[in-house]
Amino acid sequence: MTDISKATRQQLSDHFSLDIGTVKEKLVSKDGTKKWLLNFGGKADVETVFIPMAASDDGHITGTVCVSSQVGCTLACSFCHTGTQKLLRNLTASEILGQLMHVLHDVGDFPVLKKKPKPRTVTNIGQGEPLLNPTAVFSAISTMTSPKALGLAPWRVTVSTSGVAPTIERISKELRAGLAISLHAVTDELRNELVPLNKQYPIAAVLQACRDYLSHISHENRHRRITFEYVMLKGVNDSLKDAKQLTRLIDQFPAHVNLIPFNPWPGSKYECSTSEAVEAFWKEVRRAGIECTVRTPRGQDIMAACGQLKSSTDMKVAASAI
């Protein structure tokens, strides 16, 4: 930067720093997905993922950035690899934002934004529960969406939560951001096992929080939907009875169901539902008039897919073990 004085540059350098993380390891999937193990000092190693989409006619690459909010996690969801890693600490707002800036740098869109920011969407679906670190997460998202910073549209940023009910309303009230609920079960009994946080905030409380979320945002965009994420576990939660109960639970909402075929990780006790079971489940949800998609696994071969993230300096070994 040469359009300001040397003295001003020195003053900025003395008072501010720009840390987009130190790369400890980088893996690239055969499908183009990239995963970084980034260090933000000490033991603060976190994984960040970029899932590219097809380039536009002008060669402009877009994609989804998955950022982490914590080093490790306290929720211990039984199907999630991150849940096997104890929580070391929360990430700061700058460290969360630094993950996004690292991806922008990698795809050639930082430090100078040549066009519009390349990520099509940003989701807090990496390591950790974002709503257990709300101060930092909300600050980072506010910077991402600020016209004076990256200027991402709020609806392009999604907060994915396992259901910290008291904080869900703030996502729409303060951020106007998108909401994804990691539901994964249709009864409290099963969800207590899959997502232990359910013992504190059961399904009914989470759904009430969803209503509160919509009360602050639906008047702005009547097409705004809540995404309900549902991992498909063979013989556990993938029956037609489960599908019908799911539709009864969420038919009150403008909703989108995202079926996630289980992504294996070393030591997991679960298997992915069969393709026939996934298709039957999908058809049942669609039959109820609810939008439903099956997420295509991306980055599975490098342990970058949903539920596979875990801070490890030996990511290649972990990937080869599945």
> What Cα–Cα distance (Å) separates residue 247 from each residue in 240, 252, 285, 288?
11, 9, 6, 7
Q: Would you call 244 exposed, middle or buried from its count of C-beta atoms within 10 A (0-12, 13-18, 19+)?
A: middle
Interatomic CA distance for residues 122 and 307, integer angstroms:
17
Options 73, 77, 80, 306, the catalytic residue: 306
Among this protein's residues, is 306 annotated catalytic? yes
Options 47, 129, 169, 229, the catalytic residue: 47
- Could you tell me what percentage of the chain is helix, strand and coil, using 3-state DSSP and rounding each to the nearest 5? 35, 20, 45
Joined together, the tokens standing for residue 306 give 């949903």
H/E stretch holding 123: strand 119-124
Among this protein's residues, is 229 annotated catalytic? no
Beta-bridge partners for 261: 232
- Contact present, 177 and 122 (Cβ < 8 Å): no
Q: Which residues of 28-48 are buried (b: 16+ CB within 10 A; e: fewer)?
A: ebeeebbbbbbbbeeebbbbb
Active site residues: 47, 306
